[in-house]
A and B are shown apart, each in its own frame.
Chain A
Amino acid sequence: MLLSTRGLSKRFEGLNAVQGVDLDLPEGEIRALIGPNGAGKTTLVGMIAGRITPSDGQVIFDSRDVTRLPAHRRIARGMAYTFQITSVFARLSVAENVGLAARRHLKGPKVQDAVAEALARVGLTAQAGDEAGDLSYGHQRLLEVAMGIAQRPRLLILDEPTQGLSEGEIAGFETLIRDLARTTTILLIEHNMRVVMALAQRITVLDAGRVLAEGTPAEIHANRAVQAAYLGGSGDAASG
């Protein structure tokens, strides 16, 4: 297992945001994490990446207990996290945004190559010299992904990466993720069910802070409890 959580929980003053989550993510898998708004998805990945301190439980990454490591040390061990709310360096150039991600593990001329490669993969080569804050919202989302790619992570956590992307951009994004999955394990929070069904090898459904179900897209599609809690019966409706 590349990533495991055991009994991972977070309580915010009286609210159990995440309760006793056991998650096992083998190397090379694309795993989708779905659930209604407020199910605790972002809190869960926040605890995995170290942005949020868990109230209870463990995070094991690459067979080491990283529960007590600060976020930057987990990232240095091979995690990457792209933000749900776009969080790029708005006043720095697109290339410098990706450069910062690449320089964490590369030096000298290799940095430029890595930056060029990451920008090419998300299709932002032409915008390399622009200020990141001037990009359209969709392009800023892609820049987030490019920063994740440039980190060359073993585990890439994507928090709602397709939010705000056009249909055409989503199709390109799906191709990109399949391509990335050959070298990287991916944990994907996603609301767009079409993207989830197309990409994920397995799906974990979170509801009210607990794991409601886990399985292949077909199994989740057929699961009554999931339909009741989340999909509203139709199975392919995109949820906001």
Chain B
Amino acid sequence: MKAIFFREINSFFSSMIGFLAMGFFITITGLMLWFFPEYDILSYGYSTLESFFILAPILFLFIIPAITMRLFSEEKQMGTLEWLLTKPFSDSDILLGKYFASLFIVIVSLLPTLIYYFSIYQLGYPKGNIDNGGVIGSYFGLILLASTFCAIGLFCSSITSNQIVAFILAAVFSALFFWGFEMVSKFSSLEGSFDYFLKNLGISYHYDSISRGVLDTRDLIYFVSLTLFFLYLTHFQLEKRKV
């Protein structure tokens, strides 16, 4: 697993995708939070990072599929997947090596945003007037969200040898899981107990709940099981050759 993990990390940075993803994330969040009038924190006037945590999931919908799209598609397209599967690993070694490499890249690209936190910490009146619990919870929520999106992206990459297709599928699936269920639950004909159930299936409901700084085990279980579900599907996809 270690060999795959390090090879993927290397490859992210030698093919520029890693730098591009990080650069894109930092540039867009930086511009939106500090530069463009009306949206920015300074004109909003409250010492809060809330707008960052609303913006970040939307950017993740593009960045994470871009990071995960090549993981299996490229190997399939070059024919190296067969080669890789004849090396002394189990299928899960390959799968997890690639998965953790993509998650690692996303977490690394989150690190520079800690500057935003320190800036607001300093700018608050009185100094340090910021909802620390909310920030910690929100970062935790973002990491959980990233781990789920990475699993979705990895799965989409494993079903096609075309990276563009993998990217689009991953973005669509991620968006569906993020907002789709909540959107559907808003149909008035579904009102009653069913709309609550549907909302509960969506990511945004659980993400919002964690962002408030309340870590509920139900939210944690939701993210972990959704992630495992997609990793399992990917594993199934790899094992399919054995049928």
Are chains A and B native binding partners rather than an unrelated pairing? no
